[in-house]
Structure 1
């Protein structure tokens, strides 16, 4: 066998670590290049001694090296036995047998390998890992949000359907409860806000709650007749709450989106007559609303007709006012208010006798506000 690390240090294969260390120190001093004027031959010897010590001083590496030596010895023994029973001139497939290969070891280590160097620590969590983790978290959050949105949409739709069924059956409390549940799952559910607002306005007379629902519904309702109806109901609630300027604006929005809303014209006429004192605009709104009602075959409503007569009176058009008042009397002969208004009209025209007669009729018909005017006639 060729020379191995044990041969290089001059120790037995069973040498203790102390013996190996002592042999290394002795040979290192002997072969150190500085002791021989930098001789290349001694430098190679020194490298071999250092390499042998580096392997044999490490228990793990020494165990591996011993195992390799045993395997090499075993292969060498097998080759010798094979050669003992085979002539040296014997050929295998016409080729002479090669001589046994010597045991080779690694080349002697260089100067940089003979000293300990710090092993850099590997980063266990890299930037790429951070991006992957962030992407996973974002994807998980988006997935959870999509699931929640889907479930909320399904729950809101189901509750609205149940509420609409109760609304059709006039079960107002049950319907309102279902609409409220639908809005809890879907806060901008326009249809649910609209139906709940109708119950608050027409059944519970809670105009503030109805107004809040209509305002939310309008944010989701596209322009058209549906939005016009919502604007009109919003104006009605604001009128009941005493918010006349807001009510007039809402009714104007309703008329702009649907010019056939007679109720919106009539209510805006009341606001212009009593709150804004715009008599010309009030007369125009009352006339438009009454004309639209007549066009669809509805019966004449004496209230807007009376209010239009009052607007004519305030404007000074007494003839037009008398025409409207007399038309109201034809529809409701026992209307004490209109008799009183006719009395005021006669009084403005200087016909005191006719005025007093109208005031007395109004009082007999139960219109108590005419009592003071009757006393003035006496």
Structure 2
């Protein structure tokens, strides 16, 4: 027999998945063709190692391979025993054994005793009952096949989904995205996989169009209220990324209608109303709600909400309150260059040029590039 996959990787058939993976990584480094100047022998060994791990690295393929390997070993043992078996007609001490004599109880029959009768062929006729039984058999077989397929698809999809969640938890987003896609290959209505893949498309891959498709499909399935609120929130972020502020505002409003303490949704809707829809009064109310929800939960308010609240107040001409909001944002995030820049703009608007120049200078030191033009124009 040629080498088995276990022999190629140098592990025992009882080795754990971690041992198999560890052996594969060591051999891939050892036999990589780039380390041996493109030597064909090492290239063949490298391919053999990759093929062995492709089978043993997957639990389902490994189980199938173990079964086939056991069958092959059993057949080899049977053939070896057959070769060792000596038939009765073989030579014994150099003398061939005589063939056994036929056993007869009477002389052969004479020609007068032999007679043949032709059996008439009967035409097979299917009655209604036969047709019904045949149809019932095929229907039962089809239903059984569909049930088995549905069960296997569900089991396989659940296994892929669990693997995707594990990869998602350890921030291996490429593996998680692949696992969620494989889940949806077997169960297109898997709400959890649709939601997770939509999040990855939006936040990691930056594909808001594909993310919106997945999230809308997830909304068609049964979800708890908190999950539905989160789906609407992510749909709002998709619409924002696609440049559709009214649609984004509607999605954020749906999320808040389901979960009124969703602080991130209040912040996102307020930001869209302030920067895209030019509705500073409505945006200010949303920022106040976001900060209030965080305070009610015993958490510090998000500095981004405080910063945008200051911008909304400045847009409404409430400058002292805007300055206080900016200072609250700096307390939470003192190295944010944009907040220093906004304080400079506020001081510039109030006619305090030295304070404006100081804030612009700090903003530049913190890496906020937009402050360069303002500093050059206002601070000679």
TM-score by length of 1: 0.58
Cα distance in structure 2, aligned partners of 1:347 and 1:152:
65
Partner of 1:298: 299
Return 203-212 or 147-156, whichever deviates more: 203-212
Deviations 1:171-220 (A, max 9, x none): 32222222211110110111111222233333333333332222221111
Contact 2:326 2:343 in 1 (8 A): yes
1:221 aligns with 2:222: yes
**Where in structure 2 are the equivalents of 1:146-185 lying within 5 Å?**
146-185=147-186
Contact 2:209 2:238 in 1 (8 A): yes
Contact 1:343 1:357 in 2 (8 A): no
Return 303-312 or 335-344, whichever deviates more: 335-344
Contact 1:200 1:209 in 2 (8 A): yes
Partner of 2:114: none
| Residues 339 and 187 of structure 1, relative CA distance in 2, 3 Å threshold | closer
**Where in structure 2 are the equivalents of 1:61-72 lying within 5 Å?**
none
Cα distance in structure 2, aligned partners of 1:337 and 1:323:
15
1:264 aligns with 2:265: yes
Deviations 1:317-350 (A, max 9, x none): 33432332343355556665445544554565xx
| Residues 323 and 191 of structure 1, relative CA distance in 2, 3 Å threshold | same
Computed over aligned residues only, the root mean square deviation of the Cα atoms, in angstroms, reads 3.1
Contact 2:229 2:256 in 1 (8 A): yes
**Where in structure 2 are the equivalents of 1:58-207 lying within 5 Å?**
137-207=138-208
| Residues 310 and 187 of structure 1, relative CA distance in 2, 3 Å threshold | same
Return 5+ residue gaps in structure 2 as ranges: 1-124
1:208 aligns with 2:209: yes
Contact 1:156 1:182 in 2 (8 A): yes
Rg (Cα) greater in structure: 1
The one of 324, 348, 362 aligned to 2:359: 362
| Residues 275 and 318 of structure 1, relative CA distance in 2, 3 Å threshold | same
Partner of 2:286: 285
Shift of residue 364, structure 1, vs aligned partner: 1.6
Return 5+ residue gaps in structure 1 as ranges: 1-123
| Residues 154 and 331 of structure 1, relative CA distance in 2, 3 Å threshold | closer
RCO comparison, higher one (Cα < 8 Å, 6+) = 1
Shift of residue 140, structure 1, vs aligned partner: 4.1
Shift of residue 263, structure 1, vs aligned partner: 0.5
Shift of residue 129, structure 1, vs aligned partner: 6.7
Partner of 2:70: none
Return 324-333 or 233-242, whichever deviates more: 324-333
Contact 1:339 1:358 in 2 (8 A): no
Cα distance in structure 1, aligned partners of 2:161 and 2:330:
47
| Residues 251 and 131 of structure 1, relative CA distance in 2, 3 Å threshold | same
Contact 1:231 1:250 in 2 (8 A): yes
Cα distance in structure 1, aligned partners of 2:176 and 2:344:
50
TM-score by length of 2: 0.57
| Corresponding pairs, count | 253
Contact 1:188 1:220 in 2 (8 A): yes
Contact 1:283 1:311 in 2 (8 A): yes
